[in-house]
Structure 1
Amino acid sequence: MPGIAFCANFDGRDAIWMIRRINGSNVTLADIDNKAVLVKHEADLEECLENKALQFMADDRYNGEIVFQDLPEEYQKETVRRYAYVREFLDSDDQKRSKKKLEKIIKTVAEKIEDDTPPAWNTFNNWLNKYFNAGCRIKGLYPNDPKKGRRDIRVDPRVREIIDQSVKLYFKNSQMLVSTIHQMVEAKVLKHNLSNPDDLLAIPAYSTVDYHIKKRSYQEHVKGRIGKNAARYECANVGEAPETSRILERVEADHTPLDINVLHDETRTLLGRPTLTLLIDHYSRMVMGFQISFEEPSYASAAMAIGNAILPKKDLLEFYGVEGDWPAHGVMEMLVADNGTEFWGDNLDMAISEVGSVLQYAPVRSPNYKGVVERFFLTLRTGLIDSLPGKTNGVGNGSDEYIAQNEAKLTLSEFKKIFLTWLVNIYHLEPHGKAEKSPLDLWNESAREFPVVEEDAKRIETVLLCSDTRTLQRSGIQYENLEYNSDPLRDIYRQEGVVELLIKYSPFDIGHIYVWDKLNRIYIRVPCVNYKYAKGLSMYAHKAIRKRINTARKSYKDNVILQRAKVELFGDLESLHDRNVRKKSQATAKKAARIHSLGVEEFSANTILNDPAPVVIQNMQAEEATDDWEVW
């Protein structure tokens, strides 16, 4: 059975082996000292046991590796008492063990140590046998009280078979109760008794059935009751955490919905629970960057957090008025992410490669592989969010009278400032895990030995924008039913004609895109032809507008209808806020938050582009000045 240890000589090496796994007739063994693993056939182990080449650690003759000092006090006293009799025998002239001699020794020792309950001569003889069988070691005299009694349950074999068959149903995802299993066993036994009145079987007690269930291993219990994946995670060999020796060697990334409800910055209506995307340095435990918004976990939210992680944080701290030192920045050597769909895709692969990092995916259902970032989420929950108004307690926890939505008092911006203050002035200044120094000290020490290069903000922003390919036509580039064109793009058309080009875009602002000029190897910023409509509009809001237009069966080419739909959509959102602010029971407005792109910021406060202000004429076609464009 897994978990049993024994001493044996395999491959010319004496070692203590533990049964790790049993797969049919093959038994996987692990050396508990050097972690060596080998597989033995069940017949080979039985042969070793018969030849006494295998000795179980818990055998009476060996008593495992327990030492005298580790025994309970009453066991120590009993061992000393027994050894007093054995020592007297060892000091005698001859080693013969006759009844007369042993009784004489017992009488002498009992008077000497004032033993009121001396052993019988045959008990004393058993002590001597155990002592010599243990190699003349005192552990042969250890009391074996836990091993007393019958090791098996006195149950008819036929009843035991019924119990074993019924117990299998306990280890199913349906999670039957022990009482239900006992009733099933009782019914089967009664059925046998009714059919065989001359061969009645005793109905086993509830405790007997419970014993057969509990003697199964914990791994079997979790696997059967909860599931294979839970058992794999719960009983897997966690092993040692990946070792890192410097900052930026390994950075872990993950998403989590925050356990707090926040309000709209302007209307103070309830928005709900924002999502946190976070990157943390494995070596120093310093947070590299984050993104808190109502955007669902996606490439866009991941890219914003990565950009925040790579670039300096001075402008961000100044924007929120937070004092403190947050020196984390730079391109990580390896970015470890989970298997969420937001991390799987050509966009992120391309972006990480262009930045100069390597993207590694954690094994499926293995949160321990990203233990540092998972631990941070727990610290954030217990160290900060638990003390804030509007926190959630989880389903089934807390008072029935506590309604988290009605207790929300902080706006999204207020929460961000509190989070930044806690992060910079508390979390980064305290040691975490097994570290003896704070994340700030560890980062600064490593940065002095391995200086970090400051990346260009515009280059990082361009790299982390979403990527796609579109065909350049005479009218420009069409993307999501919007036309993009400019004089530099027309120059490319005159040179290349109809050609497929790489484009970059921000899902939070479709007012412009970037087009890769293969000839000059530069990105050209191309505005939307209908710039007045698209400026500052997110892709999510644009699709919501398109859906409204399609529902109304309007032509998608009618730009006037587009603008009317935009006015109607945002007008409805303001009405929603006005209605909700007057309600006693608040309702979340996460959809409105996504349309407004709440929580989404630039990579850096100084990365602000001066967008052109094109003239919109009756047919909604914008004319750009020929010299008003930007090349990166």
Structure 2
Amino acid sequence: MPLSVVQIDHTLVDVQLVDDVRRKPIGRPWLTLVLDVATRMVLGFVVSLDPPSRLSVALAIAQAVGDKAEWLAVRNLAHIWPCTGLFDTIKLDNAAEFRAVALKRGCEQYGMALDFRPPGAPWWGGHIERLMGTLMAECHLLPGTTFSNPVEKGGYDSEARAVMTRAELETWLAGRITGIYHNRVHTALGRAPLSAWRAAEATGWVPRTPKDPDRLLLDFLPFAYRTPRRDGLQLFNIAYWHPEMAVWAASKPGKLPVRYDPRDLSCIWLQTPEGRLERLTTKHADRPPITLWEHRAALAALREAGQGTANEAAVFDAIEAGRYLVSAAAGKSRAARRAEQRRTDAHEGLNAPETGAEAEVPDPDYVPKIYDSELW
């Protein structure tokens, strides 16, 4: 039946993308795909400039389980995508992001089993790998496509022909999947995936659904353990606070799970002893939203500058300097444009305004507080 067995995998998409602002090349994105084996329906997918990670897996699962009507409407797609519900078993390869504790805990909480591919048995993921091969073949029709060998490529300049942004590629893929693939007869099934899904529904089959759909993504996010104190708690050198901190600290619960979204460290979620997820915000409300990869880059720059231990203010000053230098270099460097686009995508994915975002053209009189472009 649908959702009894699903497969999740990643692939590097065979298309060069451009950034949103300058429309200049930023490289190839990654695709994370969730496939239902019984019906061959695509349950969810994520297009990201980040390599496969715990976050991309969590986002793909959250989309696969949830209702997708609003997601399609935002992209002006009038197609039907009826797949919702929890899985019974997820088949995976042995990549690090699939072995993450956050994925294991999330699956245990929602009654989903993990089934890992034995080493040297690639055919275990054959269903999803064939689908990804089909999608990549169709991507070769797009401007900016890449090729697997020099003979196919010939004199084609993929970067010079690139025209699509990450969001545009995501919408194009959604249209191909929901508008064409789901409605095309699948040779192994003898009918279209959407028809197979509808046939299962006609038997009276009803998918399992989470009690609180809004919490599902949070339960699959990465986490760390922290002990709540009267004055708050620290994660990634950042101080967080909640009005109930003194109450939680007084109960002496020991270390509790603290979940975080790498796309925005302006808030985290503390799991209380009762199992509730409470949202904690930064003590300093004027701090701009930052990503985890910006935070890591700032710490690396501070270490290189001889600051072994970094306080919160130094980290945010380093991030501010890094953002300025990335923005200034974005017109010349593909890596800088990609870094800038990653931050934009992270904030847009959270539907949050880009607080403190730099102007497209940096102020020529502005001087970063610390570090120079050579360090960065």
Give the drift of 1:590: 7.3
Q: Which has the larger radius of gyration?
A: 1
Q: Secondary structure at the residue paired with 1:487?
A: coil
Question: Following the alignment from structure 1 to structure 2, what is the Cα–Cα distance between the partners of residues 433 and 339?
Answer: 29
Structure 1 residue corresponding to 2:43, chosen from 288, 291, 295: 288
Q: Which residue of 2 aligns with 1:409?
A: 163
Question: Following the alignment from structure 1 to structure 2, what is the Cα–Cα distance between the partners of residues 561 and 308?
Answer: 37
- The residue type equivalent to 2:79 in the other structure is G
- The residue type equivalent to 1:386 in the other structure is H
Q: Which residue of 1 aligns with 2:144?
A: 390
Q: Secondary structure at the residue paired with 1:335?
A: strand
Question: Following the alignment from structure 1 to structure 2, what is the Cα–Cα distance between the partners of residues 594 and 339?
Answer: 29
Give the drift of 1:327: 0.6
Give the drift of 1:490: 2.0
1:592 matched to 2:339 = yes
**Per-residue CA distance 1:459-514 (angstroms, 9 max, x = gap):** 21221121221123343221121121221122101232x72111111111111111
Q: Which residue of 1 aligns with 2:281?
A: 527
User: 1:405–1:253: structure 2 CA closer, same or farther, 3 Å change rule?
Assistant: same
- The residue type equivalent to 1:459 in the other structure is R
Give the TM-score normalised by structure 2: 0.87
- Please say if residues 284 and 440 of structure 1, whose CA atoms lie closer than 8 Å, have aligned partners that are also in contact: yes
Give the drift of 1:551: 2.4
Structure 1 residue corresponding to 2:299, chosen from 538, 546, 570: 546
- Please say if residues 286 and 443 of structure 1, whose CA atoms lie closer than 8 Å, have aligned partners that are also in contact: yes
- The residue type equivalent to 2:262 in the other structure is P
Q: Which residue of 2 aligns with 1:315?
A: 70
**Per-residue CA distance 1:586-609 (angstroms, 9 max, x = gap):** x45575157516378659xxx889
- The residue type equivalent to 2:43 in the other structure is M
- Please say if residues 331 and 357 of structure 1, whose CA atoms lie closer than 8 Å, have aligned partners that are also in contact: yes
My pick for the range that moved more, 471-480 or 340-349, is: 471-480
- Please say if residues 389 and 407 of structure 1, whose CA atoms lie closer than 8 Å, have aligned partners that are also in contact: yes
- Please say if residues 511 and 534 of structure 1, whose CA atoms lie closer than 8 Å, have aligned partners that are also in contact: yes
Structure 2 residue corresponding to 1:562, chosen from 286, 309, 315: 315
Gaps of 5+ in 2: 356-376
Structure 1 residue corresponding to 2:8, chosen from 222, 245, 253: 253
Question: Following the alignment from structure 2 to structure 1, what is the Cα–Cα distance between the partners of residues 336 and 124?
Answer: 35
Q: Which residue of 1 aligns with 2:218?
A: 462
Q: Which residue of 1 aligns with 2:186?
A: 432
Q: Which residues of 2 match residues 489-508 of structure 1 at below 5 A?
A: 489-496=245-252, 499-508=254-263
Q: Which residue of 2 aligns with 1:187?
A: none
Q: Which residues of 2 match residues 128-167 of structure 1 at below 5 A?
A: none
Q: Which residue of 2 aligns with 1:484?
A: 240
Q: Secondary structure at the residue paired with 1:533?
A: coil
1:268 matched to 2:12 = no
Question: Following the alignment from structure 1 to structure 2, what is the Cα–Cα distance between the partners of residues 602 and 326?
Answer: 20
Q: Secondary structure at the residue paired with 1:350?
A: helix
**Per-residue CA distance 1:284-305 (angstroms, 9 max, x = gap):** 1000011110111111111111
Question: Following the alignment from structure 2 to structure 1, what is the Cα–Cα distance between the partners of residues 89 and 311?
Answer: 47
Larger RCO of the pair (alpha carbons < 8 Å, separation 6+):
2
Q: Which residue of 1 aligns with 2:231?
A: 475
- Please say if residues 54 and 221 of structure 2, whose CA atoms lie closer than 8 Å, have aligned partners that are also in contact: no
**Per-residue CA distance 1:76-119 (angstroms, 9 max, x = gap):** xxxxxxxxxxxxxxxxxxxxxxxxxxxxxxxxxxxxxxxxxxxx
- Please say if residues 19 and 338 of structure 2, whose CA atoms lie closer than 8 Å, have aligned partners that are also in contact: no
**Per-residue CA distance 1:46-76 (angstroms, 9 max, x = gap):** xxxxxxxxxxxxxxxxxxxxxxxxxxxxxxx
Give the drift of 1:398: 2.4
Q: Secondary structure at the residue paired with 1:247?
A: coil
Q: Which residues of 2 match residues 342-361 of structure 1 at below 5 A?
A: 342-361=97-116
- Please say if residues 390 and 409 of structure 1, whose CA atoms lie closer than 8 Å, have aligned partners that are also in contact: yes
Q: Secondary structure at the residue paired with 2:239?
A: strand
Q: Which residue of 2 aligns with 1:378?
A: 133
Q: Which residue of 2 aligns with 1:332?
A: 87
Question: Following the alignment from structure 1 to structure 2, what is the Cα–Cα distance between the partners of residues 368 and 311?
Answer: 29
Give the drift of 1:552: 2.6
Q: Secondary structure at the residue paired with 1:459?
A: helix
Give the drift of 1:579: 2.5
Question: Following the alignment from structure 2 to structure 1, what is the Cα–Cα distance between the partners of residues 183 and 94?
Answer: 32
1:578 matched to 2:331 = yes
Give the drift of 1:322: 1.1
Question: Following the alignment from structure 1 to structure 2, what is the Cα–Cα distance between the partners of residues 352 and 558?
Answer: 36
Structure 2 residue corresponding to 1:452, chosen from 192, 207, 218: 207
Question: Following the alignment from structure 1 to structure 2, what is the Cα–Cα distance between the partners of residues 419 and 540?
Answer: 27
Count how many residue pairs are aligned between Structure 1 and Structure 2.
352
**Per-residue CA distance 1:424-450 (angstroms, 9 max, x = gap):** 110000022321211111111212321
Q: Which residues of 2 match residues 165-244 of structure 1 at below 5 A?
A: none
- The residue type equivalent to 2:339 in the other structure is A
Question: Following the alignment from structure 1 to structure 2, what is the Cα–Cα distance between the partners of residues 550 and 440?
Answer: 54
RMSD between aligned alpha carbons?
A: 2.4
- The residue type equivalent to 2:110 in the other structure is V
Q: Which residue of 1 aligns with 2:371?
A: none
**Structure that is richer in helix per residue:** 1
Give the drift of 1:421: 0.9
User: 1:530–1:501: structure 2 CA closer, same or farther, 3 Å change rule?
Assistant: same
Structure 1 residue corresponding to 2:268, chosen from 508, 513, 526: 513
Question: Following the alignment from structure 1 to structure 2, what is the Cα–Cα distance between the partners of residues 344 and 476?
Answer: 31
- Please say if residues 146 and 158 of structure 2, whose CA atoms lie closer than 8 Å, have aligned partners that are also in contact: yes
Q: Secondary structure at the residue paired with 1:569?
A: helix
Q: Secondary structure at the residue paired with 2:286?
A: helix
- Please say if residues 505 and 514 of structure 1, whose CA atoms lie closer than 8 Å, have aligned partners that are also in contact: yes
Q: Which residue of 1 aligns with 2:359?
A: none
